[in-house]
Amino acid sequence: MPKLRVLSGEDLVKAFEKFDFVIVGQKGSHVKLQRYSSEEKQTLTIPLHKVLDRGITKAIYNQSLKYLSEKDLKPLFYTS
């Protein structure tokens, strides 16, 4: 069973920027990322903490599965 990686908020922002998400705002330590598909506006919120708790990382993973395929996300979030 692969293990969830220890990631920072900055790691995730850089990774999602590769999937055409752009930073549209920041409130405190949370950054809002958005991208537009043909049907909808897709939004993710990422806390800019140095180390994200595993629960937060898992929640971001689950939230991003609505917009991106598991094949693309799994190498980013899990060790092989």
The secondary structure of 28-48 as a DSSP string is TTEEEEEEE-SS-EEEEEEE-
Residue 1 is assigned to a structural domain of this protein: no
Q: What is the pLDDT of residues 19-53, one digit of tens each?
A: 999 999 999 999 999 999 888 999 999 999 999 99
Task: Classify strands 30-36 and 22-27 as parallel, antiparallel or unpaired.
Answer: antiparallel
Q: How far apart are CA 25 and CA 44, in angstroms?
A: 11
From 4, 7, 37, select the one nearest 21 (Cα to Cα): 37
Residue 19 is assigned to a structural domain of this protein: yes
Residue 3 is assigned to a structural domain of this protein: no
pTM comes to 0.91
> Into how many domains does the chain fold?
1
CATH code of 45's domain: 3.30.920
